[in-house]
Amino acid sequence: MYSLRNYQTESIENTLAWWGSHTKPTDNPIIVLPCAAGKSVVIAGLVGRLFELWPSEHPRTLVIVPSKELAEQNAEKLVNVLPPDIRVGYYSASVGKKQPNADVIVATIGSVAKSAHVLGNIKCVIFDECHLISSDGAGMYRSLLNDLAKYCSFRAVGLTATPFRGNGVWLTDGRDPLFTGICHEVTVKFMLENGYNSPLVRPAEELAQIDVQAVPIVNGDYQLSELASQVSKHLALAASQAVQIAVNRKKWIAFCPTVATADEFALALGHLSISAAVVTGDTPKGEREALIRRYRAGQIRCLVTVLALTTGFDVPDVDCIIWLRPTRSPVLYVQGAGRGMRIAPGKTDCLWLDFSDTTERMGPIDAIRGKRASKRKAGSAPFAVCDNCGAQVMPAALLRCPECDHLMREVEDPKARSASDAAILSTQVEKVIKTYPIDDVEYDLHVSRNEGKPDSLLVKYWSGLRVVAREWIALQHTGYAQHRARQWWAYRSKEGMAYVPETIDQALEWIEAGYGLRRPTTVTVNESGKYPEIVGFEWPAQLDLGDESDRSSDTKGSVAGHAPALI
């Protein structure tokens, strides 16, 4: 039996809250969970919550996954989390079972894409690894949803570590996107701070770099045959350097652009007495499973792959990643790096050996956000996409996002995401951090410019004669934004969660009447980006808060799109 972590429970409740406040059947949210955050556990927990809340509706659920491995992982978690009277079945040729009458059907997309008519009354559709869904109406995923809608009404949600496509565009943007916003996000920073992720580290040694300047760009990434030709020139040297630098690392994964380069690199490692095996999408299933078993057991030191191990590969003690796959795709970059970020006994970090300029160009994996589609075709929906949370904002001319209150950018700044160094995590980037003494805190009503959307509490931190930081506290919002706002208030109040205002007007009335919100003595701000970001506060040493003065939250993250005010 699995016990859900607090952030996993929050993601489930915020999904339900999203469905409650976004009532159109096409309002489909995304849950963003980094590698090792437990997507399969959250899926099982969400299904269990649906059956708990609406037993009379018998909310049969379809869980769609891209591979046999993910089907088996999800089914295992479902069986362990759900009561035994909720039947879990498969609809997957690769698993060898088709059980369309099960209460919860775990299906591989290739098997179920044309089988909506046999599934019966489905109430919920859950997409694991939803970044794989096509942005257009075509594709197996969209075809399945369109067919399923002919027979029943349902709500849908996607889960991914990367809420953007291979070209970096938000999953909520583009022509006829399936998803419309993010209902809950757990950050890599939170996972690292709370010990749920293992950090990636770069070597002190300088690595050889694959030259891709002459490689043409096709569909947003490097043309594979030309790329493979360039990569091949560097494989022998890369193997030699990897063996020297990673001598004390036990389990390696190497990513290459093609099967031929993967074979060549495995051979180069073999010549250096490193046991290596190649696993690709073309590897027969039985052989693939046998190789991964040997790798888990330590009989193979390095698995060399193309794309086969970027998702659903669960070997926690991987402690070295060799990146020989120059790419412009943030999805490949983040998903590949994530293979080394699981925690394991005795593991302190994972060595990241990037023989390309990918890290330098893309920047830290925990700082990557989606971007807007570059152009809109005539007749496309009149919405903008929030840079901070990916929500669709209508009308497009709004200055602030109604979901997270982030200041909308009318023009995409291509320099905003260009990397200035080769740090793999943002904690390794030199930041412009300044700490200001706080002389006053001002509270005011921030009126939403989007009719029908809730207002927020604007908090201004004054140092001397100027405002050095701002926060927007979403007390009247729903879901995750409201949850974080209530935590913000509770941390500053003597009563904690016992007395939290329901409206902004009520909050301002309480403050005006002398309600004791404690005030920090300093605010620390990261000024390296386009907009200042609060990264922490200092509080008075002696506080008249009784036994609750040391209150803290188990969830780090942003309040209404800003850095945490919970220390």
Residue 296 φ/ψ region, left for φ over 0, alpha for ψ in the -120 to 50 degree band, beta for the rest:
alpha
Output 548 or 314, whichever has higher pLDDT.
314
How do residues 78-101 score in pLDDT, each as one tens digit? 999 999 999 999 999 989 999 999
Instruction: Assess whether the region 6-186 and the region 200-367 belong to the same CATH fold.
Output: yes
pLDDT mean over 126-139: 76
Q: For residue 405, give every residue at least 6 positions away whose Cβ sits within 8 Å of its Cβ, in sequence order, or none.
A: 446, 456, 472, 474, 560, 561
Mean pLDDT of 442-466: 83
Is 50 exceeded by the pLDDT of residue 553? no
CA distance 142 to 114: 11
List pLDDT tens digits, range 142-196. Answer: 888 889 999 999 999 999 998 887 777 888 887 778 888 999 999 998 999 899 9
The residue ranges of every structural domain in the chain are 6-186, 200-367, 431-548
**pLDDT reading at 376 higher than 70:** no
- Domain range 6-186, its CATH number among 3.40.50.970, 3.40.50.300, 3.40.190.80, 2.40.50.140: 3.40.50.300
**Range in 254-263, 314-323, 438-447, 522-531 with the lowest mean pLDDT:** 522-531
Mean pLDDT of the residues in the chain: 83
CA 128/CA 40 separation, integer angstroms: 8
Name, of 136-145, 215-224, 405-414, the range with top average pLDDT.
215-224
Question: With 70 as the cut, is the pLDDT of residue 324 above it?
Answer: yes
> What's the pLDDT at 527?
78
Residue-level pLDDT at 8 = 96
Average pLDDT of the residues in 354-376: 79
Contact 77, 44 (CB under 8 A): yes
Under 8 Å between Cβ of 142 and 133 = yes
Report the alpha-carbon distance of residue 36 to residue 196 in Å, rounded. 7
For residues 321 and 338, is the Cβ–Cβ distance under 8 A? no
Q: State whether CATH 3.40.50.300 applies to domain 200-367.
A: yes
Q: At 50, is the secondary structure helix, strand, or coil?
A: helix
From CA 32, how far away is CA 45, in angstroms rounded?
15
pLDDT of 551 higher than 60? no
CA dist 556 and 567 (Å) reads: 8
- Taken in order 441, 445, 449, 452, is the CA torsion positive or negative? positive
Helices (H), 456-567: 479-492, 504-512
Q: How confident is the model at residue 560 (pLDDT cuts 50, 70, 90)?
A: very low
Helix (H) or strand (E) holding 80: helix 68-81
Q: Is the pLDDT of residue 325 over 70?
A: yes
**Structure confidence at residue 203 as a pLDDT band (50, 70, 90):** very high
Report residue 546's pLDDT band, with 50, 70 and 90 as the boundaries. very low
Is the predicted pLDDT of residue 428 greater than 80, yes or no?
no
Q: What is the pLDDT of residues 392-422, one digit of tens each?
A: 665 444 445 666 665 554 333 333 333 334 6
**Is the per-residue pLDDT at 449 higher than 80?**
no
- DSSP string of 238-300? HHHHHHHHTTT---EEEE-SSHHHHHHHHHHHHHTT--EEEE-TTS-HHHHHHHHHHHHTTS-
CA dist., res. 358 & res. 11, Å (int):
31
Asked whether the CA dihedral 508, 181, 429, 309 is positive or negative, the reply is positive
Residue written as token pair 């003597």: 494
What is the model's pLDDT at position 36? 87
| pLDDT score of 463 | 84
> Is the pLDDT assigned to residue 526 strictly greater than 60?
yes
